[in-house]
Amino acid sequence: MNDICKENIVEIDFDGNVIGKGKASSEKIMHCLIYKNRSDVNAIIHTHSPFLSTLALKGVGLENSPIVELQYLFGNKVPIVGYNPPGSIELAKSVAETLKTSNAAIMQNHGAIIVAPTIKDAFYSYEVLEYTAQVYIQEKLLK
């Protein structure tokens, strides 16, 4: 795994064209559409973390959680976005549309995406979301 550092970041313009060196992610159009739709967003985290990916594989969003941070950061709902192939324009459009009214989404059979004004806010929100997913799954196991 590469460390996150300036040399490992690929810069693209709003049309998905690479500026400088490197190869952009197959999800670059999704990121571009999100930025175009949300002037308040300056950071996006797209994760395939264990607990959020588990919810994604089961097609489960998060809603009505008693975890206060989820309520505060996401309005107590993180929707599931229906399946579309990774890297597809359909997935990009579907996620971008969902994120017009939400700061996070779980992509069915894929992972999750979190948006925020800063990278620090996005990472904090990601940590809360992954923790909430973990607690949700553990709670279901105890039933």
Active centre residues (catalytic): 27
Which SS3 state, helix, strand or coil, does residue 80 take?
Answer: strand
Query: Tell me, what's the pLDDT at 64?
Result: 85
Pairwise CA distance, residues 54 & 61, whole Å: 11
Closest CA to 127 of 80, 74, 61: 74
Confidence of residue 2 (pLDDT cuts 50, 70, 90): low
What are 120's two structure tokens?
């620090």
Question: Is this model's pTM higher than 0.75 or not?
Answer: yes
CA distances from 37 to 90, 112, 119 (A): 16, 18, 18
Q: 62 pairs with which residues across the strands? A: 78
H/E element, 115: strand 111-116
In tens, the pLDDT along 33-42 reads 999 999 999 9
**Domains of the chain (ranges plus CATH)?**
41-141 (3.40.225.10)
